[in-house]
Structure 1
Amino acid sequence: MIKASTMRSRLAAVVVIGTAAATVLGAGPATAAPRPGRHVLNGSQPHWLGKARATGSAPADSSQISFGLLLKLRDQAGAEATLASISDPDSASYGNWLTNKDFVARYAPTSADVSAVQSWLKSQGFGLSETLGGMYVEASGTTAQINKTFGTKMENYSYLGQTMHANSTDLSLPDGTPSSVTGILAGVTGLDQGSALKKPADTLPGPDAGFRIGTPCSSYFGQKIAKGYPAADGTKQPYVTCGYEPKQYESAYGESDLLKHGINGRGVTVAITDAFASPTIVKDTTIYNSRHGLPAWSRNQFSQITPGPNGYDNVSDCGGSGWYGEETLDVESVHSMAPGAKVVYVGGKDCNAGLDNAWAATIDHHVADIVTNSWGTANDDIKDITQTSLDFYSQFSLEAALTGITVDFSSGDDGDQTAGGTSPADKTVDFPADLPFVTGVGGTSVGIDKHGNRSFEYGWQNDYSSLSDDGKSWVDEAYSSGGGGGTSIIFKQPFYQRGVVPDSISKYFGSTRMRTVPDISMPADANTGLRVGQTQTFPDGVYYDEYRIGGTSLASPLLAGMQAVASQKAHHPVGFANPLYYRETGTSAIRDIVAPRTPVHQVRINLNNGIDTADGTSVLLQTIDAQSSTIHSTRGYDAETGVGSPGSKFFH
């Protein structure tokens, strides 16, 4: 994930408006004075430029750049009020989701507004492509056209180790631009690659980097004890698992009997969005299904929507092959929990605006009933995310919620971004997981016993200790990773969190109650993670192999699979699920997660080169739900696991 900037005085720079917008006051680098008579889009100069280095080059004047114009909703307040009613389980209108056509007719800009924007773009020489939701018009043009029309200069910058282009000044529209355009325009996206930069929620291997787990390891929690290593808290500790099997997760989360009776997600479609697309995904998942007792793909059960082999951009800068592992994990996780559901993989052409557009199109075309997303930015700071990006994600996630699409986002893998509590004032949460209209999925560590039952489930916050030089003790305990959680500085507390989230969390940054994440959690600890299979490159060739993996990259698709099963059993889409989950807090539908009474440990063996024992091994002692973290599990809602994890009556 992209690391967060420090808190500084961030809260003072933000004014919160409703649940879905934030405005910057005086933030960002100095802006060049606009030319007289132009309509300036204030705040459109990227705020990250002050942390970037100009490379001395710029996109060629003839270079084609894709971008989009975001148009304002007609009645956002009315749309949010409608959502509060139809997503309230106690409301008479619960589940009366709108069609996408209804959404456009009631809340999107009028067709006349859209036509005016399209005509203006054509008059400036831009090419048009797709219009999404009646509120986002995709276009493209040369650098020279963009510089002229928007009164800026596109430049290349080095930022976060990558080269990306951005407008060097605030954007503006030419004198004489019709008021029908200036009045409806919310902003321009795609020109600023830095604000759109996203990474997978975990760094996973691609075909150019093989990875294997160290042994010994256990088939279930507690199976093998590390007798040859020091005790911890007076007891010899178990080896970590080799990676749970799909059927172990199915059993532990109450699906086994349902699956036997055909309640397996059939009739429900789950979409997965990531950047790029693994060229071996069909072969890999076919082998995986066979090896792990999962049903083979039936006709048309798995499909992909991608730009095609020549349609990708920024592959090197985005770490293209690393996204292959993300796709593989996501697809195998969904199929593990919902073996009867249709799975559609939607690949963005890059990890910038291409992924934004792929995600939005998945919603607007109603590709699926559930959309799981294991990516984002580890920062909800308005100084790094433009107002237009916030509006873009807010509007399309609102469309999803109103039209009965469940949208899940991983909450991140670095706790509250303070490295386990080194600087509590710098706490931050992940975006887009903190959007009010999506489900932010946090992480747990889960023990599954030899009978397939959950022997424990705690919040995922890890400390690791290394073996002393003499091999007689564990030393140097330090925070490693954990599920993302905490308080947003951008979004106000949404209606479904009122009365459930304690003020000590929602008011962490001031007197205003704010949106908090996660909403609900699933297994994410890599040491209690899923065993997945993928084609990788090893010294002796390129072939399929398996490894254990976790992260909230795992938690989100696992939950999506369970939601598909729940949808089939209920005979209707889960839709916007947050109000239901918060209403069920304290019931058997939700398992409340609390901290362990005494420390819980595991021993993990790592291969130093990640492949074999040629370069030796290292030994670590994991402390589960480490209390060194600054977010902790408590009774009821907490910033580590949200309301908890799916309980025994989750499928009621």
Structure 2
Amino acid sequence: MTLTIAGTAAAGAAPDRVPLAGTKMTWGIVDKGPVPVDTPVSETVYLAVKDPAALARRAKEVSDPHSPGYGRFLGREQIREANRLDHAQVDRVRAWLTGAGLNVTAPDWRHLTVTGTFGQLNAAFAVTFHDYVFPPESGIKGHYLAPPTDLSVPAELGALVLGVGQVPILVRDAGQAAAPRRSAERRPHLDAGAAAQQCSQYWGQRPATGLPPVNGATPPLAPCGYTPQQLRHAYGLDSRGVTGAGQTVAVVASSMDTLEQDINTWSDRVGTQRLRPGQLTRVPSPDGSPPEKPGDGGYGAMIEATIDAEAVHGIAPDANIVSIGESTAQGGNLLAGLSYALDHTDASIVSLSLANDPPPGLRQAFEQIYQEGALQGVGFYFCTGDGGFRPNDTGGDWMMNGYAGSSWVTAVGGTSVAIGQDGKRIWETGWGTPVSDLSKDGTSWEQMHSEGGTGGGRATGQPQPWYQHGVVPDRYAATPDGHRGRVGPDVAFDADPATGMVIGGTPLNGSPDSDPSTWHYTEHTFGGTSLSTPLFAGVQALAQQARGGKRFGFANPALYQRAGTPAFRDVTAYRLPSGDPATAVLYRSNPAGGKTPELHHFLATQWVEKTDEYQPPEVGSGFDTETGLGTPTGAYLSSFNGH
């Protein structure tokens, strides 16, 4: 019976059903055949809101500075009552699922949790789940359970059901690390300050003596990792007397229970005030599922949580921080963390350094959460991604992080910044930093190769939002069909690992396959849009305090209202007086336990082969696809005084 239904769906001969696009297995990995029908399973079914158009309209009204409803936010209970489906509509969805034998519970008004067997899940969604594995030579362990055809729902429920929480479903092999359920943007770490003679406390402090020259001159040693005070001063954020007091920022990434201790140790070492009692709230997981373990993706998440919390604290030392872990439940995903932030915290700023591209139906579930946040006075800030150079299958678009491509989030890109001895910004350019390795004989630098850069470009399937009209040039926004699309990033901040910030914590000493009880506090320099995003979230805490504690909610309309003003520094390509690009030598730890010098070129573009069809994100005058509107200044904060 189940196989017959799945076959019908695969043939596309089921007009009484609506497919959930993007839920079939598309990876080129080994199909081991159908999952046994008696295998237990748990999944999440996401529901639509009562009137999607009305939700979007109301979210715009409270977010647009030109609207009479601007800033008139609603309480979470008001939002729930106005937008949740009627009981009769939910009962229809429940009846469909229970009719297939699944057990159904309702943890909140946005979704249902179903438990049962894969045979029952197959019957409900008219598919057959298969067991997929990566070939042995890939080195990736674990199994992915997914159907070879898209899930589908009864046509009469198509407007009520948006998607499911996690397909493919990852099943990890015991004791083995597998490819992650979700992808976080984390740049490789660099040793910070461990050997002072191999790095500089500020730009140009020490020359890289004993190494080959560049354009006839000795390049400088890269910074050891800027401190928060250096960044605050260079960006003019310490001139307005604001510290984020009275504001709450949520960061979403699984953390260790040493997070508070680590932040305080780091604060002592970099000259930032310690956390006051109760300033940090740590939520191990949003739904009661077990916290992530190091070998199951937790190691990287713990580092991310440390970066995020210290970046926020460094820029806004008096802001409260809520660190929300990630769901490990089967069928769980990032929406659990976002829902928790809205339902159980007073955070008005939510920073996420996570990257993924949800399927269309699930993307709408995210849009609803973002719009709900806008109504509640909560803004979501996403990294644009590192490397950021993925052409999509529609042609012509340069994709950034799919989460950041939403028109209802603030997408944060990255820059490279040089801070001088006096603490002032010497120069800043878009983050695109190819690297040259030292030749084997140590007499020259080899050909450049890509080290990454900020993501950016036109988001797929997202029309141009109202706030980008007249600001984003058509050369970025125009689509092949003659329309205009959403372009990111919106803003930027320091992200280059070669000019990053020093981070300290216990996870930085660990690894995916080691015992956390053996880890100890250490420091490294980190970069990436994983850094720039929480740094800008800290800036927003300062700005909200500057405007008398008033929340932004969804901030993009207010940001674009300041386009071309002193509130933002227009970031362009930087060249030395000789006309050559700036370079710096950075020492990276190698597997042998030593340090290897690398020459970083601040070209403000990724070192990739360009074609007529595809171009990487770029930096230039005005709005661009690496830095958006630019980077904030002290004038950005003062622009909100009395507003």
* TM-score for the superposition, normalised by structure 1: 0.83
Q: Structure 2 unaligned runs (5+)?
A: 1-6, 171-178, 609-615, 639-643
Q: Distance in 1 between matches of 2:202 and 2:526?
A: 15
Shift, 1:266, TM fit: 1.8
CA separation of 1:325 and 1:121: change in aligned 2, threshold 3 A: same
Matched, 1:398 2:371: yes
Q: Secondary structure at the match of 2:114?
A: strand
The count of corresponding residues between Structure 1 and Structure 2 is 598
Matched AA of 2:520: Y
**For 1:511-556, what per-residue CA distance to the aligned partner results, in whole angstroms no more than 9, with x for missing partners?**
2101111010011000111101122149996311100010000011
Q: Is the 8 A contact 1:193 1:353 kept in 2?
A: no
In the alignment, what sits opposite 2:214? Answer: 232
In the alignment, what sits opposite 1:576? Answer: 554
In the alignment, what sits opposite 1:153? Answer: 128
Q: Is the 8 A contact 2:183 2:354 kept in 1?
A: yes
In the alignment, what sits opposite 2:542? Answer: 565
In the alignment, what sits opposite 1:7? Answer: none
Q: Distance in 2 between matches of 1:227 and 1:98?
A: 60
CA separation of 1:642 and 1:172: change in aligned 2, threshold 3 A: closer
In the alignment, what sits opposite 1:292? Answer: 270
CA separation of 1:107 and 1:349: change in aligned 2, threshold 3 A: closer
Q: Distance in 1 between matches of 2:290 and 2:33?
A: 25
Q: Is the 8 A contact 1:163 1:317 kept in 2?
A: no
**For 1:560-612, what per-residue CA distance to the aligned partner results, in whole angstroms no more than 9, with x for missing partners?**
111111111212012111111111111111111111143111111222228x4
| Residue pairs, 1:40-439, within 5 angstroms | 40-44=17-21, 46-49=23-26, 51-56=28-33, 58=35, 61-65=38-42, 67-118=43-94, 121=97, 125-132=101-108, 134-158=109-133, 161=140, 163-173=143-153, 179=156, 181=157, 183-193=159-169, 197-203=181-187, 216-258=198-240, 261=241, 263-274=242-253, 276-307=254-285, 311-312=289-290, 318-350=296-328, 353-365=332-344, 367-377=346-356, 380=357, 385-417=358-390, 425=396, 427-439=398-410
Q: Secondary structure at the match of 1:90?
A: coil
In the alignment, what sits opposite 1:11? Answer: none
Shift, 1:364, TM fit: 4.3
Q: Is the 8 A contact 1:41 1:187 kept in 2?
A: no
In the alignment, what sits opposite 1:633? Answer: 619
**For 1:337-371, what per-residue CA distance to the aligned partner results, in whole angstroms no more than 9, with x for missing partners?**
11111111111123973333222332344541110
In the alignment, what sits opposite 1:502? Answer: 473
Shift, 1:312, TM fit: 3.4
Q: Is the 8 A contact 1:204 1:322 kept in 2?
A: no
Q: Is the 8 A contact 1:68 1:138 kept in 2?
A: yes
CA separation of 1:168 and 1:580: change in aligned 2, threshold 3 A: same
Q: Is the 8 A contact 2:212 2:444 kept in 1?
A: yes
Q: Is the 8 A contact 1:156 1:163 kept in 2?
A: yes
| Residue pairs, 1:464-613, within 5 angstroms | 464-507=435-478, 509-535=480-506, 536-537=509-510, 542-571=519-548, 572-597=550-575, 598=579, 599-609=581-591, 612-613=593-594
Q: Structure 1 unaligned runs (5+)?
A: 1-28, 419-423
RMSD: 3.4
Tell which deviates more after alignment, 122-131 or 636-645. Answer: 122-131
In the alignment, what sits opposite 2:613? Answer: none
CA separation of 1:568 and 1:140: change in aligned 2, threshold 3 A: farther
Q: Distance in 1 between matches of 2:604 and 2:621?
A: 15
Q: Secondary structure at the match of 1:51?
A: coil
Q: Is the 8 A contact 1:45 1:169 kept in 2?
A: no
Q: Is the 8 A contact 1:243 1:530 kept in 2?
A: yes
Q: Distance in 1 between matches of 2:561 and 2:286?
A: 43
CA separation of 1:330 and 1:434: change in aligned 2, threshold 3 A: same
Q: Secondary structure at the match of 1:226?
A: coil
Q: Is the 8 A contact 1:595 1:632 kept in 2?
A: no
CA separation of 1:523 and 1:203: change in aligned 2, threshold 3 A: closer
Q: Secondary structure at the match of 2:67?
A: coil
Identity of aligned residues (%): 31
Q: Distance in 1 between matches of 2:45 and 2:317?
A: 39
Q: Secondary structure at the match of 1:225?
A: coil
Q: Distance in 2 between matches of 1:632 and 1:266?
A: 36
**For 1:442-480, what per-residue CA distance to the aligned partner results, in whole angstroms no more than 9, with x for missing partners?**
000111112222111110001111223443332211222
Q: Is the 8 A contact 1:521 1:642 kept in 2?
A: yes
Q: Secondary structure at the match of 1:49?
A: coil
Shift, 1:60, TM fit: 6.7
Q: Is the 8 A contact 1:244 1:529 kept in 2?
A: yes
CA separation of 1:621 and 1:266: change in aligned 2, threshold 3 A: closer
Q: Secondary structure at the match of 1:286?
A: helix
In the alignment, what sits opposite 1:455? Answer: 426
CA separation of 1:32 and 1:57: change in aligned 2, threshold 3 A: closer
Shift, 1:136, TM fit: 2.5
Q: Is the 8 A contact 1:532 1:547 kept in 2?
A: yes
Matched AA of 1:95: G
Tell which deviates more after alignment, 483-492 or 54-63. Answer: 54-63
Q: Secondary structure at the match of 1:446?
A: strand
Q: Is the 8 A contact 2:286 2:340 kept in 1?
A: no
Q: Distance in 2 between matches of 1:50 and 1:631?
A: 27
Q: Distance in 2 between matches of 1:452 and 1:212?
A: 18
Q: Secondary structure at the match of 1:441?
A: strand
Q: Distance in 1 between matches of 2:158 and 2:67?
A: 39
* TM-score for the superposition, normalised by structure 2: 0.84
Matched AA of 2:121: I
Q: Is the 8 A contact 1:39 1:172 kept in 2?
A: no
CA separation of 1:60 and 1:362: change in aligned 2, threshold 3 A: farther
Q: Distance in 2 between matches of 1:115 and 1:453?
A: 61
In the alignment, what sits opposite 2:612? Answer: none
Q: Distance in 2 between matches of 1:400 and 1:269?
A: 14
Q: Secondary structure at the match of 2:634?
A: coil
Q: Is the 8 A contact 2:267 2:273 kept in 1?
A: yes
Q: Secondary structure at the match of 1:156?
A: strand
CA separation of 1:308 and 1:583: change in aligned 2, threshold 3 A: closer
**For 1:17-37, what per-residue CA distance to the aligned partner results, in whole angstroms no more than 9, with x for missing partners?**
xxxxxxxxxxxx99524897x
Q: Distance in 2 between matches of 1:80 and 1:570?
A: 26
Q: Distance in 2 between matches of 1:211 and 1:113?
A: 56
Shift, 1:484, TM fit: 0.5
| Residue pairs, 1:610-625, within 5 angstroms | 612-613=593-594, 617-625=596-604
Q: Distance in 2 between matches of 1:544 and 1:120?
A: 52
Tell which deviates more after alignment, 455-464 or 157-166. Answer: 157-166
Q: Distance in 1 between matches of 2:295 and 2:88?
A: 39
In the alignment, what sits opposite 1:8? Answer: none
Q: Distance in 2 between matches of 1:632 and 1:172?
A: 40
Shift, 1:313, TM fit: 8.1
**For 1:25-59, what per-residue CA distance to the aligned partner results, in whole angstroms no more than 9, with x for missing partners?**
xxxx99524897x9423144634435332234736
Q: Is the 8 A contact 1:522 1:555 kept in 2?
A: yes
